[in-house]
Amino acid sequence: MLTSFESDKRQILDRIDLVGLVSEYVALRRQGARWLGLCPFHAEKTPSFTVNPDMGIFKCFGCGKGGDIFTFVQEQEHVNFIEALEMLADRAGVELRRQGGTEQVQASGVTRTDIAKANAWAAAHFVSNLADPQLGESTRAYIVRRGLDANTVSTFGVGLALQDGAALSTAAAKDGLTTKLLIAADIMRQSEHDSGRTYNTFRHRLMFPIRDMTKKIIGFGGRALGDDTAKYLNTRQNALFDKSRSLYGIDLARESIVSTGRAVVVEGYTDCLAAHQAGFSETVATLGTALTTSHVDILRRYCEQIILLFDSDKAGDAAAERAIKVSLPRCVSVRLARIPDGQDPCSFLETHGHDRFSDVLNVAIDALEFKWNLTRRRFNSESSESARREAVLDFLRVVAEGMSTGAVDAIQRGLLVNQVAHLLRMDHSEVNRLIVGLAPRRDLDNRLAQPGVRAGSDRRDTPVSSEQASWTRLLEVMLCEPGAVPEAAQLPDIARISDERDRRLVEIAMTLKTELEEFHLSDVIARCATPADGERASMLARAGSERGNYVATATLAIERIRCAMEQNELEHRKTALRDEKLEENERTANLVAIHEAAKRRGHFAPPAGFAS
């Protein structure tokens, strides 16, 4: 009989489509019965990330990560299983029962789900302020002056934080939101000088709710409407929000990014709104940070080209250098474009319109070429040969650092070296020699720790003996077809499994078999103590599914395990016979046992190739 916990999990699995969920993070395309895309967990140029909706699992053959819908959310959102369960329950409309088997879903303190609910409430509160005939009048006039229409403002959920802080706390108390929760969400803050006093984080600001790809509000950006020295203010980092890993507008831009094959990245919230309003709905904005590796990792799942838009030469220099460092190791083309006359995108669109803005994007140039143009100007302005040489070496250092990670394969490296050689008008072999000499020195462990680098097979994935290979085959069957495996009492002693991870999985599977008789792979993964155990379960289940022939495989595996056990016993007896002090009756018993075993083994010997 299912516990309420298992029942809740089953409801979530029944209601949420794994392909649909993963598609919110990865651009997938169908390939037979599976779906294929770029892995969201490591950098790769050739897709090796697959989703199998029939089995309800995902697997990346590049980095090895795999699991079910719960594992995916854990890995993608950096949460534990309980938090993933609550997030998916909320998405599926399943009310988790807090008694019996579900006591473990109760988390102490404020959870990510709590923060998301507080953010949703605050966003509605800010929108209400902006819509108020009196309170929002001047702010609405400011929005009109910026050239933004009501439909765009509504689509993005723009709101208003009032100067008066009492209104927010009063409304929150009325709706049952505690001060503790509002502080955890950074909607309110505690005074550094008086622990008993709190104040609103955002005051007299135009509010931009920041959403993730599932359209959940994870934080806010606020633009000052007065003379505040901090023009822009973002939510502080918390359990739900990290500005270096977030992009404003990604929830609305994702589909256009996939269809156009490019992402346009701007710096400001209003710039992003104006671009969408003008028809460039593939636009997103960074949150007051330079382009980060996490930003590139998000965007590369949907497109192969990123256009970085900036509004000054100085910003372009820094942007180009940063873009090279974060894009080369991630196999993404980053191009840079500059708004003329130092205007920001919002002002430029209002003044010049769609076509001129499109021209700016179309003439964007590759980040390497952009950086080289800047270097060439520096080169030409220098008077000494040493200064000119240093200018070229600075350029090559940037390239070398970007290429130093193992994620840049030999083919891509060759193409990049040829590109740089062409820019420098040098022989490509000489450029390659210089880059190798300038590359940062990393020890082997650091290099293998880079995303996308395979460190070789996990030693535990390669059984150390035929017996351990047989246990692996048996575990594969358990995870795919539990009914093909005998009850625990009929199995050999699982303590003989040398791999602790596999032993844990067998224990989980046998416990589920006793409790439920039939169970799903997701039931096993849900009980795994770590994501690594879940990845191992997913990998073994896939291997078992491809191997098939469950009953015969299980039968042969058990027989081979018993043969190995018997062989170990025989070796022990043979060793004992060498002991001159062995009693005669014990010597005789050992000889008889060895003789009987030899006769039995003459009738049956599992094929040697079984373990391969």
Q: What is the 3-state secondary structure (H, E, C) of 538-580?
A: HHHHHHHHHHCCHHHHHHHHHHHHHHHHHHHHHHHHHHHHCCC
Cβ–Cβ < 8 Å for 52, 34: yes
Cβ–Cβ < 8 Å for 178, 110: no
CA of 37: how far to CAs of 27, 30, 332, 480, 492, in Å? 6, 9, 15, 24, 41
Multiple choice CATH, 462-611, 1.10.860, 1.20.1410, 1.10.3210, 1.10.1220: 1.10.860
Tell me which residue of 399, 427, 452, 402 sits closest to 38, measured CA to CA: 452
Residues 452-464: tens digit of each pLDDT: 333 333 434 444 5
Residues 74-90: tens digit of each pLDDT: 888 777 787 788 888 88
Cα separation of 268 and 315, whole Å? 14
Tell me which residue of 245, 243, 336 sits closest to 295, measured CA to CA: 245
As separate numbers, helices (DSSP H) first and strands (DSSP E) second, the chain gives: 25, 16
Cβ–Cβ < 8 Å for 238, 188: no
Multiple choice CATH, 112-241, 3.40.50.1980, 3.40.640.10, 3.90.980.10, 1.10.150.50: 3.90.980.10
258-340+353-368: CATH topology is Dna Topoisomerase Vi A Subunit; Chain: A, domain 2 (3.40.1360)
Beta bridge partners of 36: 29, 50
List phi, psi (to 5°) of 309: -105, 130
CA of 472: how far to CAs of 232, 292, 554, in Å? 56, 41, 10
Q: How many residues does the chain have?
A: 612
Residue 167: how many other CB atoms lie within 10 Å: 16
Residues 192-203: tens digit of each pLDDT: 777 778 999 999
Tell me which residue of 74, 69, 40, 38 sits closest to 53, measured CA to CA: 69
Cβ–Cβ < 8 Å for 181, 110: yes
User: How would CATH label the architecture of 4-108?
Assistant: Alpha-Beta Complex (3.90)
Give me the residues of the chain with pLDDT under 50, please.
Answer: 1-2, 99-108, 442-463, 601-612
SS3 for 266? strand
